Chains A and B, each alone.
Chain A
Amino acid sequence: MTKILHIENLSIGYTSKKKETLVAKQINVSINKPKLIALIGINGIGKSTLLRTISKVQPYLKGKIAIFGKNIDDYKATEFSKKISLVLTEKIPSSNLTVYEVIALGRQVYTNWIGTLSSNDKDIIKEAASIVNINHVLHDKIDELSDGQYQKVMIARALAQDTDIILLDEPTAHLDIINKVEIFKLLKDLVVNKNKTIIISSHELQLAIQTANDLWLMNKNSFIQGSKEKLIANNEIQKIFTSNNITFNKKTNQFLFDY
């Protein structure tokens, strides 16, 4: 069976002129079946860089990334956008776009030269909107939404793009706890019901550990991945924090903070 995602000996970072800035190296991971993966690590450790690299927004330094058995460099841009979709932390620029139009842009890669939506496209857009439960704001302006609704729209847009893999870079950063829980639950539903493979970077450790199937832990010198049960049993979660003020309790699956 071809692997959904296969990463081998990957080094990520930035190149400028003669200098090469290494962010992380020795990343090895494979995904064989749809699941929810939480990418966890402290600020600046390279979570976004890794997601940007997998989504071909920036080139990698060394190693190999393959999606469905094919190296990401061998994909044409339009072909690749049918495999991976994105949800980012950053808000889109202020515009008059409606929620419907934003979700419809997810269909763009499937539409003709002028972007006419077929009835099939329209069905998919409506389905995406109802999955994330934003039907009632479908014709509101994207600028007028609350942060929670906005992020759901961006998830619906990714769903409309109809990709097997969805990458989310801290999508819950600005949200309150209710919306955070809702988004994680939604993502989990997508894995179960829609067979999506979802990789989400997040600082919501508690939620991430509760909902995710697998964890990718990024430390300063290592990249550790595996099922959350295994990582919890091996005390790996503790290692992502350099601070002694935070401890992880294996029995209750909870973080403890020392004041």
Chain B
Amino acid sequence: MALNFDFFKTKDSEICIKNYILNKTKYTFQFSILIIALLFFVMLNISLGSVSIPFKEVFMILTGNDVTSNFKFIILNLRVPKALTAIMVGSGLSVSGLLMQTLFRNPLAGPFVLGISSGASLGVAILILGSSLFGFSAFAVSNYSTAIASSFGAFSVLLAVMIVAQKVKNTMSILIIGLMFGSLTTAIISILAYFSSAEELQQYMFWSFGNLGNLSWNELTLFFIVYIIAISSIIFIIKPLNSLLLGENYAQSLGVNIKKTRNITLFITAMLTGVITAFSGPIAFVGLAVPHLAKLVFNSSNHKTLLPATAIIGAIVMLFSDIIAQLPNSAFTLPINAITSFFGAPIVIWLLIRKSKIVL
């Protein structure tokens, strides 16, 4: 009889509860490690660069105790904005990736796959490469105009995907449609590139390498506002996200409004990807890979754990990549876009071989 509650079963469930509590404390441990790592990498990121600044000095300047240091300008106007950019870019892209993977219930999904990043690239390509073609070379290509062009591109593609999404019920089709939009924009960029001058091409290439260190405090403030709006919108979908892990039918039977959840998720992703690509170029890899790193480290699919974990790991990955890209103590800076993939891809491959399974 199923309703029997004999002694052994009670004992079993007690063990289970103990395991559960153990798991919880384990997460606090993992989160503490992550936060310490994040703080460490922030300090390291600020102190390393073409000029190496000792930790002690960095600490003194950040706490406002050393007002006479020669390094003050470098730290406050170059390194701190760059570190903050890295944190927002890394966490924003990673969280977008996680949202996409859950929404499409596909571990391959990410901001790039939906064509949103390609849309942003298209916007910038039209601005930089198309300037001579369409004759608006009079417009100076500044940080702001790139940002506007990129956001515009990201939102146009997103809008197109969302309009199609209203007609198509199957989320897998939306994913493929996103990929098609991506191909389409890449094709247009190639055509634009064919007709543009070497100088414009170079300018576009440099943008596409990605750059974290380009932002003034004003631009950073704008970036921060959009970032905060997008990230805090997640509270509207935090509950539906977990039920979506059961598939659309179960989620719906739990009272989840699928369409609304889908639209909010797409909107958040577009905002984050749009603004990030706008200010720091199309940064690949992070959005797809970091959620999987988080899932492997925390061995969980629960968004209450995964969302903060993904955000922190994303920030660490970006700070770390930026340190490498700066080639400490040299005047060279490598493309950040290359570094994220160069160091990140082998790590993900190694983790997957070890764990041998990729899940949502």
Residues of A within 8 A of B (CB): 55-57, 77-81, 84-86, 88, 90, 92-97, 100-102, 105-106, 108-109, 111, 113-115, 126, 129-133, 135-136, 138-139, 143, 161, 185-186, 189, 193
Contact = CB atoms under 8 A, between A and B. Distances in A.
Given A88-B250, A136-B12, A77 B2 contact: no
B252 interface: yes
A135 B360 contact: no
A118 to B, nearest CB: 15
Interface of B: 1-3, 5, 9, 12-13, 16, 19-20, 23, 105, 235, 238-239, 242-243, 245-247, 249-250, 252-257, 295, 299-302, 304, 357, 359-360
A131 B2 CA distance: 6
A92 B360 CA distance: 11
Contacts, number: 112
B13 A81 contact: no
A108 B253 contact: no
A133 B257 contact: no
Nearest to A163: B253
Given A114-B238, A185-B2, A193-B3, A92 B253 contact: no
Contact of B359 (A95, A106, A126, A189): A95
Contacts of B238: 113-115
A186 B2 contact: yes
A208 B148 CA distance: 64
A96 B254 contact: no
A108 B242 CA distance: 9
Contacts of B20: 100, 138-139
A97 B302 contact: yes
A157 to B, nearest CB: 8
Contact of A97 (B19, B239, B252, B301): B301
Nearest to B105: A93
Of A95, A185, A189, most buried by chain B (CB within 10 Å of CB) is A95
Of B2, B295, B359, most buried by chain A (CB within 10 Å of CB) is B2
Contacts of B247: 90, 92-93
Contacts of B300: 96
Given A94-B359, A105-B246, A132-B2, A139 B16 contact: yes
A114 B254 CA distance: 15
Contacts of B9: 130, 133, 135
Nearest to B245: A95
Contacts of B253: 55, 57, 81, 84-86
B242 to A, nearest CB: 6
A113 B20 CA distance: 23
Nearest to A152: B2
A130 B13 contact: yes
Contacts of B249: 57, 86, 88, 90
A86 B250 contact: yes
A54 B5 CA distance: 34
B3 to A, nearest CB: 6
Given A80-B255, A113-B239, A96 B2 contact: no
Contacts of A55: 253
A67 B207 CA distance: 60
Contact of A108 (B254, B257, B299): B254
A187 to B, nearest CB: 10
A257 to B, nearest CB: 32
Given A130-B9, A138-B13, A95 B360 contact: yes
Nearest to A133: B2
Contacts of A135: 9, 12-13, 16
19 contacts: A84-B253, A85-B253, A86-B250, A88-B249, A90-B249, A93-B360, A94-B359, A96-B299, A96-B300, A102-B246, A105-B242, A108-B242, A108-B254, A109-B255, A113-B238, A130-B9, A131-B2, A139-B20, A189-B1
B186 to A, nearest CB: 29
B239 A114 contact: yes
B128 to A, nearest CB: 41
A111 B243 CA distance: 13
Nearest to A82: B255
A185 B249 CA distance: 26
A113 B250 contact: no
A174 to B, nearest CB: 16
Contacts of B245: 92-93, 95, 97, 105
B341 to A, nearest CB: 25
**Which 9 interchain pairs have the tightest Cβ spacing?**
A81-B255, A96-B301, A78-B255, A95-B301, A95-B360, A86-B253, A138-B16, A77-B255, A93-B105
